[in-house]
Structure 1
Amino acid sequence: MAHQESEERAEEWAVLQAIYPELEIDPGNPFAAHMELMVKPSTPLPVTFEQVVERLAYLPPLHLHITLPVGYPEAPPSVTVSTVPSWLPPDVTAKLANQALLLWEEYGGGQLFTYISHLQEAAETTFGLSELTLPSDLKPDLLAYSIRTKRELFDKETFECEVCLEPKKGSVCYRMQRCNHVFCIACLQDYYNNCIKEGDVNNVKCMSVDCGQSAHGSSKKKDRLISPKELLQIPISIDNVDRYAKIKRKKKIEADPTIIYCPRSWCQGAMRTKKYPKITNVSEMDESDSEADEPVAEVAESQDVAAFEKRRVGITGMDRLAVCEDCNLAFCQICLASWHGDFVRCEPRDSAQLTEEDQASLNFIMKNCSPCPTCSVPCQKSHGCNHMTCFQCKSHFCYLCAAWLRPENPYEHFNNPKNKGCYQRLMDMAEGDMAQGDIQFGGRRGAEQIADFWEQEAMRIQMEINELDS
């Protein structure tokens, strides 16, 4: 009889091991076994560690210990359930262990396969838990386990890179955090390093053409830039990530008319502001949502410089105090002099007063560059047609007259006879405006040309008059 019971218990292990190869028989007890069940919730479980919520995709496995007693299957199996560390509440582990007895009583015999299947299904819903609150000392272990397990499973898979279209093992690939698109690390590094080197930080985003589209593929959400913290994980070198973060910040500051610059000619640093804190550690910079380098909201209502100056003059008291973030000079936002206290009356400095070098640079830009009609960034064409796309804000415009063009049909502007200054002039200056001599422009640049022509004419006439008088 005892021999028959032993055979029945050995047969039970053989059946279970055929289904679950991970089941391990205890070397010291042939009728005891152990196995681990992966806990991967169908949706990441929110876990609160002292008011800090982390969403964990993987949790430490469920340890299942089973002992088949003498008399099994007429006698119920002995089951214990635990986790290391103990993240699962004791009442839940006790309930899970009791399920084995309930199944044995319900079906009248050995139902270990059904029981283990029940535990695997329950693990997908984290055993009925919608959230969990744990001590903070468990946070490092649980976070590390989730990250490590996710990476180990990812490394074993095979993916097709969406850039080079070659199948690659996960160990040489990277999954984007926000959209889950997968690319090989080599393609990501080549693209992002090149963008950062050229200063094209607005294109440091997911390279998938489908990224941001709705479920039906009918619309595309606003592109979101990759955070410095994620770039380091790809990995991109910390020097390049630091350059990326600083260029992004510089673009935002330059687009914000409320920022005042240091009056020292050798410094010209921006004033300190909480809106754009100075970068100290890029590894901690993890921007959320729409951290695309777009102009700040105040820009749209501050395009009129005179209106902004009027508001600035209205600043009173200590609100006038500004401190340069580079040289630490304290100065007045109104008169741009060194800080003179909040009770001194002052007048705004004439913003038109430029150094000789600055004036020469401004004259060159006004004469040789066409401004973007949206963000006013000066653009100069080196080659190609006169349909331009602004590097800064992506607006479409005409290089000849700086008129805004409809993105869906930008060439209509050059085919309309009513646009006499630009009609059929799409390919004028195809080799660049510096290579073909004088070309008539429109808009602001055209007005500069006309003013320059009449200034030269006036000087020529005056010279002729002077020659006649002499």
Structure 2
Amino acid sequence: MIYFTGGRNLIGDLPLKVRHLPPVKLIFSMPSNYPIEESLQFELECCWMRWDWIRRLEKRLLKIWEEERDVVCLLQYISIEFYNIGQTTLKTLMRTYDQQANNQDFVNDHFTCGICLEEKRGDKCYRLNLCQHVFCQVCLREYFMMLIREGFVIQVKCPDPGCKSQNKLTKEEITEIVGNEMSQRYTELLEKQKLETDPLVTYCPRKVCQAPVRKESAVEKLCVCTKCTFAFCWFCQRTWHGVGVPCAINNLRKVVQEYMAADEATKSMLELRYGTKNIEKLVRDAQEEMETDKWMKSNTQKCPQCETAIEKSMGCNHMLCTRCETHFCYLCGNWIDPEEPYSHFNNPKSSCNQRLFDGANVDEFVADDFIFV
């Protein structure tokens, strides 16, 4: 970690983490009578050291020469300080050199691809910038291209299942891995997905256009396509029909159920779309219909032939439909043989066995009409 002192406490003054520093250059020349009579002529160059330290190092090297009289240069320890002037340029230089040196180390190293699990040289591999996971170039390219072709652009990220980084790759990384054409498709699909999740964006209903259209207000129904200038209704996607004209209602029961189960915001939106009075009338009619259906279910039985709802006001459970003259049981709704209608109530296997008079008032019948055994 390299700390820049004396700065103005800006973001650029944060410590710089590097693995490699630019080298200290030793520029030298050998006189004709070197090394018997004259010493090595040299000077030091270094972009990240103070000039006075460079001079002191040069003097130290010269002293070593005078003491040893041999081709020996020893650099044991250097304390580093930095100029306050030109920190941005210095940081850029050091960061660039460190990146280049790291890239060279990467190229010369060997890695196991996380997809095919084969060991490859670094020059055949790719390292993701954010998480630093390494995969061979062929595997990563084919994997990302498959996702983009199938439209799963949200999954274009590090393939390592244990990767904790959920951020997407940069556009530059995508282009470098899959090429310009697939990178362009990736960008288009990603933008389309963003538009589809935007609650204020719809698409022009004209088949020859289909351009995305952003609604200016959350409470207005009018939309105008910026590409073909077609004016249409946000809700029903039909030609603009005016503010005072509600949208045509399809599937009334579904709309009413949605309204009755909705929160206040959704109810306001449905009222805006179909008209408040229309919605209120539909809800009233639906509630009445529900009550009617509830009563019909509790107090009537449908004919198994014509499905006419029949209410039994008196008598036994052997019914005769007045519409199609079908004999049926009022308890279970099943068809009864008109030749032997009461066998249904004497069958031990039937759920209606011995239940001919269930729910009936026996006093209503005249005794002479039946034979008691």
TM normalised by structure 2 equals: 0.49
Query: Of the two, which has the highest radius of gyration?
Result: 2
Structure number with greater CO (CA < 8 Å, separation at least 6) is: 1
